[in-house]
């Protein structure tokens, strides 16, 4: 559901009691965590229980499983996830009572108010770059507030209130949220058409990034990873408009030479370089920032190691766009060494699979064995003409090395049947595929 963005951003300390519909999601849970740290009364609901909800309860939030109008209680403000449907009982109750109803973007802007914001945007790599920048700044002596679309492996949390004036935030373009933050500085990792269900055309998607740059404080700066053609073109346009632009590239000698990163892959190196350059532009010491990046242990669901059994290593990652798939398979190939790469991929969204399904399959051809799940629907309705079979058919490997397995409960066994000692198994996708990795380890242990 798309909630209109109000003309005025009300600072978080003036929102009263805040109720989150969809509080367990990566975006809303982080905002709720920051509000709780500031002493704001928070409640919320989500469709299923989770460790995230337990963590918020431990911080003082009243959290319900399931949705009911009574859960709104005495809230003054309702924050609604884009995944919530228009017939949600809590949303309808808030409308009936005339409460302030905010989308995620405005709620995040409310906790940003009064801080010097660094917004990290881009089609791919936002979460990793935001995480790296946060860790680098902490190592350099800063204590930023941060809101990330994933959990830092070192801390297990996706957001925290800091004591400094900096606020580091992942700026999501999927629903236009990144147009509402007015940051001091911004990072753009890449510009590669996605979320066309929101933007309509690749041209409109690119234009949204130009609008994002226009929201940056003229006294601030823009960091662009110019190995990406879209980000390079954006940097050129921004510089022509009088913006201060800092360019980073993995193709030339760079400030992180000699630093061992947590994962191989040029896309992860680009993320690290962007984080380092941003910290330097903010005035922090290059050596201290580099030390922080060297200490970074990853973010959950971004090439996250899940375990090893019987000589088979298992990783999980969030990649769901063809470019992301290609990048993570490059990293997996480097990690696998002499072993093979066995991948399970779950397409995410019917609309994305309709547009990019063939390209997804082509990117998966970089693996040795491929299992394709059916489409994870998320906020969309099923389409019998757009299934995982579309992706599987486009994988440029011999037929015996590719399988479309629409029955979710059979995927782990299909992976174990293909894996052998020395291999690396990688589960890819933004949906429920992440739960398959632990099952693979269990089956390997029982074999």
Give the pLDDT confidence score for residue 196 in this predicted structure: 67
Residue with the bigger pLDDT between 231 and 302: it is 231
Average pLDDT over residues 314-333: 92
Instruction: Report whether pLDDT(403) > 70.
Output: yes
Q: Is 126 annotated as a binding residue?
A: yes
Average pLDDT over residues 292-309: 91
Average pLDDT over residues 132-144: 96
Paired tokens of 215: 């929201």
Average pLDDT over residues 214-222: 97
User: Which pLDDT band holds residue 426 (cuts at 50, 70, 90)?
Assistant: very high
Q: Is 128 annotated as a binding residue?
A: yes
Contact 401, 372 (CB under 8 A): no
Residues 48 and 18 in one domain: yes
- 368 by Cβ neighbours in 10 Å (0-12 / 13-18 / 19+) ranks as middle
Percent over 90 (pLDDT), the chain: 81
* Domain finish residue from 77, 104, 131: 104
Average pLDDT over residues 302-306: 90
Residues 240 and 355 in one domain: no
Residues 61 and 146 in one domain: no
**Measured distance CA(168)–CA(179) in Å, rounded:** 16
Whether 322 is covered by a domain: the verdict is yes
Q: Is 300 annotated as a binding residue?
A: no
CATH code of the domain containing 18: 3.40.50.720
Q: Give per-residue pLDDT as tens, 238-289.
A: 999 999 999 999 988 788 988 999 888 898 999 999 999 999 999 999 999 9
Instruction: Report whether pLDDT(152) > 70.
Output: yes
Residues 94 and 43 in one domain: yes
Contact 411, 378 (CB under 8 A): no
Q: How far is CA 332 from CA 263, 315, 366, 429, in A?
A: 9, 9, 10, 15
Average pLDDT over residues 341-359: 94
**What's the domain count of the chain?**
3
Instruction: Report whether pLDDT(193) > 80.
Output: no
User: Which pLDDT band holds residue 83 (cuts at 50, 70, 90)?
Assistant: confident
Residues 77 and 124 in one domain: no
Contact 366, 345 (CB under 8 A): no
Q: Give per-residue pLDDT as tens, 158-191.
A: 999 999 999 999 998 877 888 989 999 999 999 9
- What's this model's pTM, rounded to 2 decimal places? 0.85
Q: Is 189 annotated as a binding residue?
A: no
Paired tokens of 432: 């429920």
**Measured distance CA(250)–CA(246) in Å, rounded:** 14
Instruction: Report whether pLDDT(313) > 90.
Output: yes
Q: Range of 230's domain?
A: 114-295
- 223 by Cβ neighbours in 10 Å (0-12 / 13-18 / 19+) ranks as buried
DSSP characters over 290-305:
HHHHHH---BTTSSEE
User: Which pLDDT band holds residue 104 (cuts at 50, 70, 90)?
Assistant: very high
Give the pLDDT confidence score for residue 119 in this predicted structure: 97
CATH code of the domain containing 165: 3.40.1190.10
Closest CA relative to residue 264, chosen from 342, 328, 322, 339: 328
User: Strand 100-103's sheet: what is its strand order?
Assistant: 62-65, 42-46, 18-21, 77-80, 100-103
Active site residues: 126-127, 170
Q: Is 127 annotated as a binding residue?
A: yes
Averaged pLDDT of the chain: 94
The residues pairing with 18 across neighbouring beta strands, listed in sequence order, are: 42, 77
């Amino acid at each position: 559901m798309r909630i209109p963005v109000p003309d005025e951003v009300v600072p978080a300390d003036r929102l009263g009691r805040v109720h989150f519909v969809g509080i367990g999601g990566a975006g809303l849970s982080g905002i709720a965590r920051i509000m709780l740290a500031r002493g704001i009364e928070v409640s919320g609901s989500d469709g299923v229980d989770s460790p995230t909800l337990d963590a918020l309860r431990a911080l003082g939030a009243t959290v319900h499983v399931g949705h009911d109008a009574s859960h709104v209680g005495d809230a003054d403000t309702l924050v609604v996830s884009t995944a919530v449907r228009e017939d949600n009982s809590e949303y309808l109750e808030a409308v009936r009572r005339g409460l302030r109803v905010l989308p995620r973007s405005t709620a995040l802007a409310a906790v940003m108010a009064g801080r010097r914001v660094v917004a990290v945007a881009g089609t791919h790599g936002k979460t990793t770059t935001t995480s790296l920048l946060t860790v680098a700044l902490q190592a350099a002596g800063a204590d930023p507030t941060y809101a990330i679309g994933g959990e830092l492996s070192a801390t297990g949390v996706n957001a925290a209130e800091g004591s400094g004036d900096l606020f580091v935030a992942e700026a999501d373009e999927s629903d236009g949220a990144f147009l509402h933050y007015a940051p001091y500085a911004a990072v753009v990792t890449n510009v590669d058409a996605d979320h066309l269900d929101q933007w309509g055309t690749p041209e409109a998607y690119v234009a949204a990034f130009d609008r994002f740059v226009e929201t940056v404080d003229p006294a601030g700066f823009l960091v662009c990873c110019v190995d990406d053609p879209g980000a390079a073109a954006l940097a050129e346009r921004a510089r022509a408009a009088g913006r201060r632009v800092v360019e980073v590239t993995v193709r030339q000698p760079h400030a992180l030479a000699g630093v061992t990163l947590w994962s191989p892959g040029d896309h992860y190196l680009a993320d690290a370089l962007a984080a380092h350059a941003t910290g330097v532009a903010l005035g922090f010491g290059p050596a201290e920032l580099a030390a922080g990046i060297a200490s970074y242990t990853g973010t959950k669901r971004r090439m996250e190691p899940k375990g090893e059994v019987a000589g088979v290593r298992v990783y999980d990652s969030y990649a769901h766009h063809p470019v992301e798939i290609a990048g993570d398979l490059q990293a997996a190939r480097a990690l696998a060494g002499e072993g093979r790469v066995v991948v399970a991929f779950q397409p995410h969204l019917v609309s994305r699979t309709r547009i990019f399904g063939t390209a997804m399959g082509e990117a998966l051809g970089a693996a040795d064995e491929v299992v394709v799940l059916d489409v994870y629907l998320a906020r969309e309705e099923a389409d019998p003409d757009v299934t995982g079979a579309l992706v599987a058919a486009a994988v440029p490997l011999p037929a015996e090395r590719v399988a479309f397995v629409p029955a979710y409960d059979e995927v782990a066994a299909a992976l174990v049947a293909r894996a052998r000692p020395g291999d690396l198994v990688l589960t890819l996708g933004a949906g429920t595929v992440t739960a398959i990795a632990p099952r693979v380890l269990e089956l390997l242990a029982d074999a």
